[in-house]
Chain A
Amino acid sequence: MGSVLGKVLRVNLTTGVIAAEELSAELSKSFIGGRGLGGKMLTNEIAAGIDALSEENKLFFITGPLTGTSAPTGGRYMVVTKSPLNNVIASSNSGGFWGAELKFAGYDMLIVEGKAATPVYINIKDGDVEIKAADHVWGKNTNETTDMLLSEVGDHKARVANIGTAGEQLSRIACIMNDRWRAAGRSGVGAVMGSKNLKAVVVRGSGKVEAADVDKFKEHVKAAMGKIKENGVTGQGLPAYGTAVLINIINEAGILPTNNFQEGVFPHADEISGETLAEKYLKKKDPCYRCPIACGRYCEVDGVGSGGPEYETIWAFGSDCGVSDLKAIIKANNACNEIGVDTISAGATIAAAMELYQRGYVKADELAGGPELAWGNAEAVVEWVKRMGDTDGFGKKLAMGSARLTEAYGAPELSMAVKKLELPAYDPRGLMGHGLQYATSNRGGCHVRGYMISPEILGMPEKLDRFSLEGKAEWVRIFQDLTAAIDSSGLCLFTSFALGADDYANLLTAATGVDYTAADVLAAGDRAYNVERLFNMAEGYSAADDTLPKRLLDEPMPAGPTKGHVHPLDQLLPKYYEVRGWDATGVPTADKKKSLGL
């Protein structure tokens, strides 16, 4: 039968109807699963123009064919929905164990529709699925909710995905947390859950996910494991220091955004680096399901342990807010996990608020006794994250994200975001390819839609001159397509440091029994990318939205190794549209759509 189970669990919270349906074999084949399949099904099932927080929106929790198998990192799932942050297609990936457990329960995906009248949670135990009251956990944060629901279902091996108070309050940067510290972080997916009055999904399965060709699959898994172990990044770098090791690297290159992207060098980088984290706070590694890389960290401050922090999080609350106190950053990270907000957007929004304060838009009296929003104020980042779960006041304003916040003060140019999604921890003024990828990412400012840092900084799979424009459009396209395919497969994007398209094709073929070549894998990624583009265009997005914050296009980097550079986006976009098979205005051509079967 293979690792695609062919089963969709559909739960309608308005009517209370729970149904197990058959998954279209044809769609599953051409879109693989996860992000690609979810994007296609969402497009088919919801009308353009609906309110993302209305009961017409749907929430997909969707795995890939390799989720729940023995393939390395095979624990991933995607949350696919219409984003309440920016109305584009949201697909947020998460690790941990929840996704694999959904497969063990017998489903490739869960689709949640409608809206419950009062708070509920969904409890899945193999074929037994119930909608249960959640009034007693509404208002509780994620760890407490997890504890309470685990004891309520009476099975501590069950897996919980839930929202905190931020999701309940419809924060546009709310995330969905699973297995305590793992997050489907970006695009405000937690608010969609909150809008449906859905507090949590608890899942427990007793089944197994078998490959179609067991022997071949074992062979390919072994080969993939070998490559991951041998590769310097996946075999040594990530296991030893996690993602935080990037702080020093990116700072040395002069592209570590500091004080809301006003600068690219942070003088205190070493104090918040992966090296310092390992020396002072790291307790153990915290890997996801069947992951030999184990980039996940578990740290302790003042006797409180928690997952993380990741590189992005350290940057967002650290250099982006001018903060050099790693302990405070870890506390801010924990607070994000507790109330359920995306750490990148939360930190970057506080950074934007600090710049609003610096320039006199936000006055001290508005802060109602909260800590001063001064650059470097460690107390401010911790306290203001906590207040993002509030029902009113300045904390509530922050919880709407930097785009809405800065607009409210008449200074939208201070939001360092693309399509309202806050940019992550790499200043594109020193990264020509990565900047192009930010501008064209289908969910907005994001680094994991085509991680050009790999060739432009880390030299993998080959070293590219980060300031050169040559070949960058082609590179970005291939990276975006391959990433979309990996996000569809059920594996972690970090495997791509060691594995290539043919490795994924081999694993998918043996697992599903459907023949995939490397070209098919890339085509599926391309298909997913175009489906997302078309979704966004139906929402009114156009080439004009493929842009970067004005600061990064116009203001040269003031100092450091990237001094004097801006991002020349205009010089890259026409070529990018061409290599994508889109017309000069960024619209997929009829031929392109036909070639992808769209």
Chain B
Amino acid sequence: MQITVKLFATLRNNRFKIEVHEYPEGSTILQVAEALEIPKEELALTLINGISLEVDNALKDGDTLAIFPPVGGG
């Protein structure tokens, strides 16, 4: 399935801002993060289509996944 992955803040270092990737059907947020070599403790905020969800949630074809490391408020 195709997932649009958006990375933010320090997660962009040596990776990318936004790319479309192919993942096995039913992959979870955590599995996508593992494939991108993002350590679990860096997954401070994960949104599927703009809705904040825990990392064991599964993605479906066409979803947009946004991943933020620990960030600020203001």
CB distance from B3 to the nearest CB of A (A): 15
**Are A245 and B71 in contact (CB-based, < 8 A)?**
yes
In the bound complex, what is the Cα–Cα distance between A494 and B45 (angstroms)?
19
Say yes or no for B49: interface residue by CB 8 A criterion.
Answer: yes
Q: Give the contacting residue for B52; candidates A238, A244, A311, A459; CB below 8 A.
A: A459
A-side contacts of B52, CB under 8 Å: 253, 457, 459, 463, 466
- From A178-186, A229-237, A519-527, the one touching the partner chain is A229-237
**Are A453 and B73 in contact (CB-based, < 8 A)?**
yes
**Are B71 and A246 in contact (CB-based, < 8 A)?**
yes
A-side contacts of B9, CB under 8 Å: 237, 240-241, 245, 274-275
Say yes or no for B39: interface residue by CB 8 A criterion.
Answer: no
CB distance from B5 to the nearest CB of A (A): 12
A-side contacts of B71, CB under 8 Å: 232-233, 237-238, 241, 245-246, 249, 458
Say yes or no for A451: interface residue by CB 8 A criterion.
Answer: yes
Whose C-beta in chain B lies nearest to the C-beta of A465?
B52
**Are B45 and A249 in contact (CB-based, < 8 A)?**
yes
Say yes or no for A243: interface residue by CB 8 A criterion.
Answer: yes
A-side contacts of B57, CB under 8 Å: none
**Are A238 and B50 in contact (CB-based, < 8 A)?**
no
In the bound complex, what is the Cα–Cα distance between A236 and B11 (angstroms)?
13
**Are B47 and A310 in contact (CB-based, < 8 A)?**
no
**Are A561 and B45 in contact (CB-based, < 8 A)?**
no
A-side contacts of B50, CB under 8 Å: 252-254, 560-562
Q: For window 32-74 of chain A, which residues contact chain B by CB distance below 8 Å?
A: none
How does the 8 Å CB contact mask read for B31-55 relative to A, with 1 for contact and 0 for none?
Answer: 0000000000000110101111010
**Are A253 and B73 in contact (CB-based, < 8 A)?**
no
A-side contacts of B68, CB under 8 Å: 248-249
CB distance from B4 to the nearest CB of A (A): 12
Q: Give the contacting residue for B44; candidates A232, A242, A243; CB below 8 A.
A: A232
Count A-side interface residues using an 8 Å CB cutoff: 39
**Are A237 and B8 in contact (CB-based, < 8 A)?**
no
**Are B6 and A310 in contact (CB-based, < 8 A)?**
no
Chief secondary structure at chain B's binding surface: loop
Count B-side interface residues using an 8 Å CB cutoff: 22
Whose C-beta in chain A lies nearest to the C-beta of B53?
A463
**Are A236 and B70 in contact (CB-based, < 8 A)?**
yes
In the bound complex, what is the Cα–Cα distance between A236 and B73 (angstroms)?
12
**Are A233 and B72 in contact (CB-based, < 8 A)?**
yes
Whose C-beta in chain B lies nearest to the C-beta of A562?
B50
Q: Give the contacting residue for B6; candidates A240, A244, A252, A454; CB below 8 A.
A: A252
B-side contacts of A236, CB under 8 Å: 69-70
**Are B74 and A246 in contact (CB-based, < 8 A)?**
yes
CB distance from B60 to the nearest CB of A (A): 16
How does the 8 Å CB contact mask read for A219-235 relative to B, with 1 for contact and 0 for none?
Answer: 00000000000011101
CB distance from A296 to the nearest CB of B (A): 11
In the bound complex, what is the Cα–Cα distance between A392 and B52 (angstroms)?
48
In the bound complex, what is the Cα–Cα distance between A494 and B71 (angstroms)?
12
CB distance from B6 to the nearest CB of A (A): 7
**Are A252 and B47 in contact (CB-based, < 8 A)?**
yes
Q: For window 1-45 of chain B, which residues contact chain A by CB distance below 8 Å?
A: 6, 8-10, 12, 17, 44-45
- Whether A238 touches B49, Cβ cut-off 8 Å, given contacts A275-B8, A459-B44, is no
In the bound complex, what is the Cα–Cα distance between A240 and B8 (angstroms)?
12
Say yes or no for B66: interface residue by CB 8 A criterion.
Answer: yes
In the bound complex, what is the Cα–Cα distance between A497 and B70 (angstroms)?
11
Whose C-beta in chain B lies nearest to the C-beta of A253?
B50
Q: For window 56-72 of chain B, which residues contact chain A by CB distance below 8 Å?
A: 66, 68-72
CB distance from B47 to the nearest CB of A (A): 5
B-side contacts of A130, CB under 8 Å: none
**Are A561 and B51 in contact (CB-based, < 8 A)?**
yes
Q: For window 298-315 of chain A, which residues contact chain B by CB distance below 8 Å?
A: 310-312
Q: Give the contacting residue for A459; candidates B10, B45, B51, B69; CB below 8 A.
A: B45
Say yes or no for A295: interface residue by CB 8 A criterion.
Answer: yes
In the bound complex, what is the Cα–Cα distance between A476 and B12 (angstroms)?
34
CB distance from A303 to the nearest CB of B (A): 27
Q: Give the contacting residue for A454; candidates B47, B51, B69, B73; CB below 8 A.
A: B73
Say yes or no for A539: interface residue by CB 8 A criterion.
Answer: no
A-side contacts of B66, CB under 8 Å: 252
- A245-B72, A248-B8 are known contacts; what are 4 more A-B pairs with Cβ within 8 Å? A237-B9, A245-B9, A275-B12, A494-B73
20 intermolecular pairs with C-beta atoms under 8 Å apart = A233-B70, A233-B71, A235-B70, A237-B44, A240-B9, A241-B72, A245-B71, A246-B71, A249-B8, A249-B68, A252-B66, A253-B47, A253-B52, A274-B72, A275-B8, A311-B72, A451-B73, A457-B45, A459-B44, A561-B47
